[in-house]
Amino acid sequence: GNLKGYDILLHDYGTMNWSDVTRSAIAYADGGWIVRPHVYFYAMQDEEAQGRVHNTDIVGYTSEGRKLYLDSDGQFRKPGSLIRNPDLGRILKNIASEGIDVFYKGYIAERIDEDMKANGGLMTFNDLKNYKTVRSEPVWGEYRGHKIASNQPPGGGVMIQEMLQILEHFDLQAMGHNSPDYIATVAEAMKWATIDKDKKMGDPAFDEVPVAEFTDRNYAGELAERIKRGEKANVVRYGQPEESKDTTHVTVVDADGNAVSMTHSLGMPSGVVTRGLGIMYNGCMGAFDPRPGLPGSILPGKRRFTALCPTIVFNGDDPYIVVGAPGGTFITMGVLQAILNVMDFDMTMLEAVSAPRITANSNTIDVSNRIPKFVTNKLVTRGYPVSRSPFSYVFSGVHAIRIVDGRWDGGADPGRDGMALAI
């Protein structure tokens, strides 16, 4: 659906044509892109320890994938290696010259259909031909007098709204940034939002998702009172597969006042590359819940929950913070803290995305290695299990822009490969 979504946005809001838009992508496909340390780390992480197939075995599942991504020894290409994908460059050129119908109804669709039939795949020519995008109004909320717009279910926007409305009942600035009180309070808001997501979040096309409950300010106030009384939320985990970190985020603001926060995710790689196309298909079907009758259960045509939560905070009617992140199930938690850092602690955008983060999508509070032990020791004495990451920058990769009095400042998470750039 990505290509069709981009085409609609380009038609409705854009000033360029497909040839303009794809020029850089074609150059990277033909000329190559350099394997960066973050890409290599992702490819080589110990998936077997989590009961999953190793990424090198996935990307090497087809001869096309092996040719693109693996060295002769069967290992993922090392940092600094150049990966060229001329097949992808060719179909991007076709799309640029002929339009997106060549993908959905033309020879690319036919080639996908042939490959699926030959190998027992489920996707068909008609699936591509009949695909329709879903367009919806954002989910609206408020935090400290600022309007907040984020994405509809099954995305993570309602979690952002719920957490912010819980935390509005606390003087976070007085607690001190990343103090024991601050971390415990924010962690409890994260846990309550996770509990509600697990119980209530499915695909609105299949199940009724109670968006009004996620965004109910009275309900948020009740949860805040429970946190103030010292209650600890209990997150029950069923070993559901975690969303992959194979995601990209782009935040853009222009001189005309337009603002876009867009998160793109492959979900996780399937390993399947159709010969001659250079496209690796999504493999995120495995992230559905195999048990029937639950919000995340697998069904034909169903969308699964994703933590993706591109978000815009408004100052009056003008964009103030434009934010989003890659990072699997940590995305909502990273975006939340970036917003708090700006709004409660008056950080610049670079400071906000660079500050040490925590996450609590279980009963354990996970912390960045830059959060001091004297802080986490106090959390332990309060009865919180704490897990320390060995990494300095972790729990999503937030990228954002702040707009103050018509001036922009951007922040690209130092733990990722992104950058803030004015052009």
Please say whether the beta carbons of 91 and 18 come within 8 A. Answer: no
> What are the angstrom distances between the C-alpha of 399 and each of 133, 187, 251, 345, 346?
26, 22, 7, 18, 17
- For 390-404, give the DSSP string: S-SS-SS--EEEEEE
Separation CA 226–CA 222 (nearest Å): 6
3-class secondary-structure state, position 160: helix
Owner of token pair 């989003």 = 324
Separation CA 202–CA 243 (nearest Å): 15
Is 247 among the residues known to form the active site?
Answer: yes
Separation CA 55–CA 283 (nearest Å): 12
Separation CA 411–CA 251 (nearest Å): 10
Which pair of tokens denotes residue 73?
A: 């020894």
- How many CA atoms, within 13 angstroms, populate the side-chain half-sphere of residue 345? 20
3-class secondary-structure state, position 302: coil
Give the torsion sign (CA, 399, 403, 408, 409). negative
Burial label, 60 (beta-carbon count in 10 A; 0-12, 13-18, 19+): buried
Separation CA 311–CA 111 (nearest Å): 37
Separation CA 87–CA 292 (nearest Å): 40
Q: How far apart are the first and last CA of the chain?
A: 29
Which one is catalytic: 185, 247, 306, 359?
Answer: 247
**How long is the chain?**
423
Tell me the catalytic residues.
247
